[in-house]
Structure 1
């Protein structure tokens, strides 16, 4: 009996009708005035309307089609090869690498931009890809290794860009506009340059369709003559090339890479060839619809919004509806857990981390720099005068690191997804957006006002998450909802930052994770929550162990799966909200500390949770000390330093464990 569900191409065709209708509404009146021939042929310079249509609006339409197609195809390739529904073009840090290359060129190598901006940003994207490939090559391009390496590179590049922006805001403020994604065109040259690159990459991808189909068999594909290492590398190279070429041309429009493949799967595209056709078509049509709507809006209001950011604003609700209606069928299995060897002496490892944390905290309190910049050990009256400044920020940093690490550990153990982190819940983005709203509502907001705004934003996100949790049937489904909400709020923030409003730019320092100016009261409150959270997490040990064996096994052992999943996710979200209110929307610690604990042999239950918490506190304590002293007398945000510090440490631990840690 044939399925009653419409063919995936039916939905693509329906979407194309919507795109044609909106395009006709936008361009139709102008083309009817100048005529079809004038629109598609070189117009007379005296005919301003014909020049506008031929050299700006039509190239922009073509660019939307090409970019949407490229991002949809690259996102599908990433998700298929990495076997993770949260994978997207930003997974390998390509977009962050391109943005870093542009920032470096703007500051120190402006001649490169005059030569070729596209080549400069593409070089940054491929450099980020090369770093990921270098880290993942020894590990046979296992999905876990690629995802973690990509996240490290992406976070690292983003941290450097943010740091450069804080130090050179008058030079790099325009970088937010490019980061928002813009399809504006002045002629056909960019389209003519991008189109053949996308066609060539797409042809290579379709030629690899058979190998992609066999990849679904996992490591058993080797028995069929498929070299997994080279196949994964080749497909990922094509996906990264598509992303790099697109980002270099129009900026960051990364959300399509996540949404288009997910929507394609939800429409019924199951086979690899079907998804390779439907995903890029949906990506292209969605981007055309969004861009045409923005043009209509700009014509009526004279307000020009970045297409990339608005793509998330419009695409997120569509993706959320698809997830809630057909979520179970669209979500692929997670990438699996690495079978890491457990330490025979976990207590000794935990005690060593705690001792190291005590040493670092002592150094942070007693060591500093004098007015000449020389390193000195301070005590007596000098230390007494400095302690009210150093103590609270150190306590707040350690407490926030502990809470974020606990939240990340809970999420990763609950879902079995190595990409799970506090940022995924969208609570950090909600907190940042709440604070941004306060800056626009109150002329001179106090710290208490900003705390209230951040807490309100986090509370709204939590409310939405729990409202949707009634229809959530898996941890990964909950995670992708969190990713979508985070993308929605981040897009709103990007739109406001792209406006150049000084009130919005002032939020960048807090978003980077600055502990400067933390009061003693806030520090002790954050410590109380951190200690309470560490004590309360023991209540979830048994359910987490049962979840690792699957929902059916957990239910058979008397665990209320739905109840404990909501409780654990809610607890992780609460820890994230509190930590974010203290030191900004940090996510690196919550992502990396649990993996560091595993690679030190702390893989089981309570040992893993305690080790993750201590490592999170240790990383933030070191970051706070370095941020306070390394660039004296200026202060570097603790969150950025934690990212720059934790990246190499995590990469070394990942490579050191080698192939054994990546076995499934």
Structure 2
């Protein structure tokens, strides 16, 4: 053990033990602690709370942290990726979504326990991410982008489904945050068995993983079955992570932090990393839980420990970005083949505009009634028009604004996978909205709009500032944005999991809905969308030159700093304005610009205009589905937009590897 390890590990252990001991002494003086063995019949209520609540909680924090540290170390070793862990690869979110869906839609599936359901969800998420990664030789950047986006989509759907079932709302929100609250020692026994079996399996895989660290070709040359070793290692890591999710909920980024700290503190070979990562993971989660207990004892507010560990993820991921190897951006135009270019794009744009107007007329005129589908007569049409038209205008305007933002970001980064959701702009907007909700007693629409736009601009500015200092390639910009999204999501989880009444307003808004939009708000959003579109057209020279690279743009006399700043501001305002009405996750900003480009709209002004029209149409379709699928109840708009966007995103990333 290195001198650094000999100093820091005992210090962390003392800190973890000290925090837990302070919390335990706050709950019950030392003289009143129960003796062993614990017999509930001979114990007071406070002794039962200590012996069957706080004591197993302290143990399960150690076991869960160790399990997640081991899972992350295995994933990083087998994928040769320093930012791989159950969170960044979508494994924990897949388990979370499966458990939420089973709890709400088919509780009978949980009769045999939560573990089989969690394993299924985690396994499907991992299989999807690995299928995408296999097309790019498991390149680190591709794996993390695919995993984080799959995880974001799963979490969004889980939140929307949770919101639709009020009777499960509080318990599922707290569970999703990663609560370590215990009522007996059964969870400790279960995770102890998982950790023991996982440790034995990891020890057996240590030598193959050491050989695999030489590279797939070198390992195969030494006679190793690379595919079998990868499958066994990933399956082991998924099983361990899903076991923790089934028992405790979503606990993020411990598996990322533990191996990174192990290497930073001096661990070099595979055995050292696999040995130290569980130990460090146990200390990380134990210290975080001790801090939560200490705050709860002082303030009376209790929130899930998983929400606190998530706060480590964004900064840590940003810190690790310069250490990533592999620079091939998934989804580059070169990998997709040259985009077509129409000789007369005006015809297509007018056709898209006509189709959009026709869609608005049709969606106002038809609908569902208790007896089925109906076409409104003239009198009913006039009666329903004031109710339906504002939300259709709001949905279309939000879709257009997000699409304009996406087109700007894709040209700014020269990467067709860039979008407000991916670059953290939507996450920053959500955080700005939540900050206004918590900071002001009765915030009005103006303050909510201002907070959301400010959050979006700040998030994008942080990403731009980080990347510009290091001159990283475009795919690193995506990862920096994902890190900001992870940080924003963690802060939001902490806010909502505290159980404050204001959290329900945030949760409802996160799923997205245009139901409450009035005529004034819809027209204001339409005006903003038109202004942003006009501003993007005015900046068409910048948008045409920036994808050629900083060197070419500078040689052509483009004021790079001012151009980037103006475009960042424009994209932030567009995202913030749209996010207020439809929530932070829709993927319209990803799909619409890409579809516009593939239709042959290559010039910046045509690309932006086509993206705006397509984005408006996509959001109208999502709004119609949200209103009609669950009739007479309205389902979240953000859920439907995500259900449109997620398959598109998966198809795009699978196709990019060809």
TM-score where L is the length of structure 1 = 0.79
Give me the whole-angstrom Cα distance separating, in 2, the residues matched to 1:286 and 1:497.
23
Out of 101, 104, 116, the residue aligned to residue 98 of structure 2 is 101
Q: Which moved more, 1:516-525 or 1:271-280?
A: 271-280
Say if 2:457 and 2:572, in contact at 8 Å, map to a contact too: no
2:176 is aligned with 1:174: no
Q: Would the alpha carbon gap of residues 601 and 72 (structure 1) be closer, same or farther in structure 2, given more than 3 Å must change?
A: farther
Structure 1 equivalent of residue 445 of structure 2: 447
Say if 1:31 and 1:39, in contact at 8 Å, map to a contact too: no
Out of 336, 361, 370, the residue aligned to residue 329 of structure 2 is 336
Give me the whole-angstrom Cα distance separating, in 2, the residues matched to 1:93 and 1:223.
32
Q: How does 1:575-614 map to 2 (within 5 A)?
A: 575-593=574-592
Structure 2 equivalent of residue 284 of structure 1: 282
Q: Cα distance, 1:181 vs. partner?
A: 1.0
Q: Cα distance, 1:83 vs. partner?
A: 6.4
Q: How does 1:65-80 map to 2 (within 5 A)?
A: 65-78=62-75
Structure 2 equivalent of residue 306 of structure 1: 304
Q: Cα distance, 1:505 vs. partner?
A: 1.3
Q: Cα distance, 1:252 vs. partner?
A: 0.8
Give me the whole-angstrom Cα distance separating, in 2, the residues matched to 1:542 and 1:12.
52
2:530 is aligned with 1:542: no
Q: Would the alpha carbon gap of residues 130 and 97 (structure 1) be closer, same or farther in structure 2, given more than 3 Å must change?
A: same
Say if 2:398 and 2:525, in contact at 8 Å, map to a contact too: no
Structure 1 equivalent of residue 189 of structure 2: 192
Structure 2 equivalent of residue 623 of structure 1: 622
Say if 1:337 and 1:416, in contact at 8 Å, map to a contact too: no
Say if 2:511 and 2:639, in contact at 8 Å, map to a contact too: yes
Say if 2:593 and 2:607, in contact at 8 Å, map to a contact too: yes
Q: Cα distance, 1:512 vs. partner?
A: 1.3
2:63 is aligned with 1:60: no
Unaligned regions of 5+ residues in structure 2, if any?
none
Say if 2:136 and 2:142, in contact at 8 Å, map to a contact too: yes
Q: Cα distance, 1:286 vs. partner?
A: 1.5
Structure 1 equivalent of residue 239 of structure 2: 241
Say if 1:366 and 1:378, in contact at 8 Å, map to a contact too: no
Say if 1:346 and 1:607, in contact at 8 Å, map to a contact too: no
Q: Cα distance, 1:183 vs. partner?
A: 1.0
Q: Cα distance, 1:63 vs. partner?
A: 1.4
Structure 2 equivalent of residue 641 of structure 1: 640
Say if 2:103 and 2:110, in contact at 8 Å, map to a contact too: yes
Give me the whole-angstrom Cα distance separating, in 2, the residues matched to 1:612 and 1:33.
66
What's the CA shift string for 1:283-341, capped at 9, x where partnerless?
Answer: 3222111111222222333332211112234x36xx63x678x6675444455335222
Q: Would the alpha carbon gap of residues 392 and 130 (structure 1) be closer, same or farther in structure 2, given more than 3 Å must change?
A: same
Say if 1:434 and 1:454, in contact at 8 Å, map to a contact too: yes
What's the CA shift string for 1:364-412, capped at 9, x where partnerless?
Answer: 3224226456545568665565555544434443443344345446656
Q: Cα distance, 1:68 vs. partner?
A: 1.6
Give me the whole-angstrom Cα distance separating, in 1, the residues matched to 2:644 and 2:224.
38
Q: Cα distance, 1:189 vs. partner?
A: 1.9
Give me the whole-angstrom Cα distance separating, in 1, the residues matched to 2:268 and 2:567.
32
TM-score where L is the length of structure 2 = 0.80
Give me the whole-angstrom Cα distance separating, in 1, the residues matched to 2:273 and 2:343.
49
Q: Which moved more, 1:103-112 or 1:22-31?
A: 22-31
2:119 is aligned with 1:122: yes
Say if 2:23 and 2:297, in contact at 8 Å, map to a contact too: no
Q: Cα distance, 1:165 vs. partner?
A: 2.9
Q: Would the alpha carbon gap of residues 637 and 108 (structure 1) be closer, same or farther in structure 2, given more than 3 Å must change?
A: closer
SS in 2 for 1:432: helix
2:86 is aligned with 1:89: yes
Say if 2:514 and 2:581, in contact at 8 Å, map to a contact too: yes
Q: Would the alpha carbon gap of residues 277 and 351 (structure 1) be closer, same or farther in structure 2, given more than 3 Å must change?
A: farther
Give me the whole-angstrom Cα distance separating, in 1, the residues matched to 2:175 and 2:354.
44
Q: Cα distance, 1:80 vs. partner?
A: 5.8
Say if 2:339 and 2:598, in contact at 8 Å, map to a contact too: no
Say if 1:144 and 1:662, in contact at 8 Å, map to a contact too: no
Q: How does 1:218-233 map to 2 (within 5 A)?
A: 229-233=227-231
SS in 2 for 1:252: coil
Q: Cα distance, 1:67 vs. partner?
A: 1.5
Q: How does 1:564-579 map to 2 (within 5 A)?
A: 569=568, 571-579=570-578
Give me the whole-angstrom Cα distance separating, in 2, the residues matched to 1:82 and 1:353.
45
SS in 2 for 1:369: strand
Give me the whole-angstrom Cα distance separating, in 1, the residues matched to 2:540 and 2:217.
36
SS in 2 for 1:60: helix
Structure 2 equivalent of residue 432 of structure 1: 430
Give me the whole-angstrom Cα distance separating, in 2, the residues matched to 1:558 and 1:323.
35
Structure 1 equivalent of residue 524 of structure 2: 522
Say if 2:327 and 2:475, in contact at 8 Å, map to a contact too: yes
Out of 348, 362, 366, the residue aligned to residue 358 of structure 2 is 362
Q: Which moved more, 1:454-463 or 1:160-169?
A: 454-463
Give me the whole-angstrom Cα distance separating, in 2, the residues matched to 1:211 and 1:284.
23
Unaligned regions of 5+ residues in structure 1, if any?
none
Q: Cα distance, 1:81 vs. partner?
A: 5.5
Q: Cα distance, 1:358 vs. partner?
A: 4.2
Give me the whole-angstrom Cα distance separating, in 2, the residues matched to 1:137 and 1:483.
21
Q: Would the alpha carbon gap of residues 561 and 41 (structure 1) be closer, same or farther in structure 2, given more than 3 Å must change?
A: farther
Q: Which moved more, 1:127-136 or 1:624-633?
A: 127-136
Q: Cα distance, 1:179 vs. partner?
A: 0.7
Give me the whole-angstrom Cα distance separating, in 1, the residues matched to 2:592 and 2:266.
38
Q: Would the alpha carbon gap of residues 410 and 478 (structure 1) be closer, same or farther in structure 2, given more than 3 Å must change?
A: same
The number of equivalent residue pairs is: 645
Q: How does 1:388-427 map to 2 (within 5 A)?
A: 388-408=386-406, 421-427=419-425
Q: Which moved more, 1:147-156 or 1:572-581?
A: 147-156
Say if 1:79 and 1:87, in contact at 8 Å, map to a contact too: yes
